Amino acid sequence: MTDPTGRDLVLTRLIPAPLAALYRAWTEPALLKRWFAPHPFTVADAETDPRPGGSTRIVMRGPDGAEFASAGVYLDLVENARIVFTDAYTHAWEPAAKPFFTGIITFAPEGGGTRYTALARHWNAEDRAAHEAMGFHDGWGRCTDQLAALAARL
């Protein structure tokens, strides 16, 4: 996948789990809490309304107890195939103070498993660089390992 704009960060993996398990892990709050934050961080709270225009809110907690909330809305969902969300809106189409990225998560059958792709499309190249410097590949990679382990058990 090429990115002529310089705004995308992408992580892709072949995960030995069914599409439906991965989709559930992304859309059900109880499951999100089990994988979404890279250990030793945890998810203190997760709320989802998985429909176009529905809100999502996730609160990660660091080992020191500090909490980091992120809110957004779903733009598009195709069950077991795609989830598109953005932090450009916090809820009910209320604009965010500083939009950062749109997430495009896709699930495709491949070789008895699922080709999982997480694309973070940023508003500009500077935001992309900042996200990469924050540890996108390591953090999202560790979360994907946790997601894969959970999905294999669902």
In the chain, where are the structural domains located?
8-153
84-142 tens-digit pLDDT: 999 999 888 899 999 999 999 999 999 999 999 999 999 999 999 999 999 999 999 99
Q: Give the rounded percent of residues in the chain with a pLDDT score beyond 70.
A: 98
Half-sphere exposure of 135 (CA within 13 A, CB side): 8
Q: Does residue 50 carry a pLDDT above 90?
A: yes
Please say whether the structural domain 8-153 has been given the CATH code 3.30.565.40.
no
| Cβ count within 10 A of residue 111 | 8
| Mean pLDDT confidence for 37-60 | 97
Q: Does residue 60 carry a pLDDT above 90?
A: yes
Instruction: Output the pLDDT for position 89.
Output: 95
Instruction: Output the pLDDT for position 148.
Output: 98
Q: What is the pTM of this model?
A: 0.94
Q: Does residue 3 carry a pLDDT above 90?
A: no
Instruction: Output the pLDDT for position 1.
Output: 57
Greatest alpha-carbon pair distance for the chain in Å reads 43
From residue 144, give the alpha-carbon distance in Å to each of 20, 35, 43, 149.
Answer: 16, 8, 15, 9
- For CA atoms 128, 99, 134, 85, the dihedral sign is negative
Instruction: Output the pLDDT for position 2.
Output: 61
Per the listing, tokens 């498993």 go with 113
Whole-angstrom Cα Rg for the chain: 15
What is the CA angle 23-29-32, rounded to 5?
60
Instruction: Output the pLDDT for position 129.
Output: 95
CA pair distance 41, 104, nearest whole angstrom: 23
| Mean pLDDT confidence for 18-36 | 98
9-24 tens-digit pLDDT: 999 999 999 999 999 9
